[in-house]
Amino acid sequence: MVTSKQTTQQPSNRDLLVAETLEQGAFFDLVRVASRLEGELNRVFRPYDLTTATFSILSILERVSPEGLSCGDVAGQLIAEVPDMTRLLDRLERLEYVIRERSSHDRRMVKVRLTERGMEVVRNLKEAVHRCHKEQFQVLPPERMEDLRGLLRELVREERSGTSSPAEPSHARQAGLGGRAA
């Protein structure tokens, strides 16, 4: 006889997402680790109403201060693609961390600059960010960190070299698949 406890028992969430290939397993692991690390870093930013993406914008602008950058140039410098750059800049502007100014030479061009308040926030957070990263990676000795960085750069180099793309894997392109005209 089957009891109600036996029929309602569900596998854990981890049991439901099973990698079918070595590559898929590596992808799952990479995404899980990145998500966890980013969550820890976002806790450092929370008192300033920032996220990893918005702090990255401030850090980029700090490096070019006081000149500022166009919105497109800021987006091009980010670690991860963000589809909502305008919303992120709106938020940073409301917090008075950045200002946007139209170019007097080309009204289509908008430059983003760090405010004094934004500069202060970046300065205040730098040490906390360094501490967070140090704690996150303390289990890896420096030579293993170099190995990890090398492996990750290899993945990025492969993607940038045009040999593969998520929308059109290299094996699909070689077979004439992928929707592009040859």
- The confidence score (pLDDT) of residue 162 equals 55
Q: Calculate the alpha carbon distances from 54 to 47, 48, 115, 133, 147 in Å.
A: 13, 10, 14, 17, 29
Residue 85 falls inside a structural domain: yes
Residue 87: inside a domain: yes
Residue 44 in any domain: the answer is: yes
Sheet bearing 110-114, strands edge to edge: 69-70, 110-114, 98-102
CA distance 107 to 179: 38
Q: Which positions ≥6 away from 110 have C-beta within 8 Å?
A: 70, 71, 100, 101, 102, 103
Task: Report d(CA 181, CA 11) in Å as an integer.
Answer: 46
Domain annotation covers residue 169 = no
* CA 128 centroid distance within chain: 19
Is position 175 within any domain? no
Q: Which of 28-32, 69-73, 140-144, 154-158 has the lowest mean pLDDT?
A: 154-158
DSSP 31-95: HHHHHHHHHHHHHHHGGGT--HHHHHHHHHHHHHTTT-EEHHHHHHHSSS--TTHHHHHHHHHHT
**Residue pLDDT, tens place only, 23-54:** 999 999 999 999 999 999 999 999 999 999 99
Please count the helices (runs of H) and the strands (runs of E) in the chain: 9, 3
Q: What integer is the mean pLDDT of 94-111?
A: 88
Provide the CATH number for the domain around residue 128.
1.10.10.10
Lowest mean pLDDT across 34-38, 45-49, 112-116, 172-176: 172-176
Q: Provide the CA 152 distance to its chain's centre, in angstroms.
A: 14
User: Residue 111 is part of which domain span?
Assistant: 23-160
8 lies in some domain = no
> What does the pLDDT read at residue 160?
58
pLDDT range class, residue 169, cuts 50, 70, 90? very low
Work out how many domains the chain is built from and give that number.
1
Residue type for 57, please?
Answer: I
Q: Compute the distance between CA of residue 33 and CA of residue 151 in angstroms, rounded to an integer.
A: 15
In a domain, 150, yes or no: yes
pLDDT at 178 over 50: no
Asked whether residue 46 is domain-assigned, the answer is yes
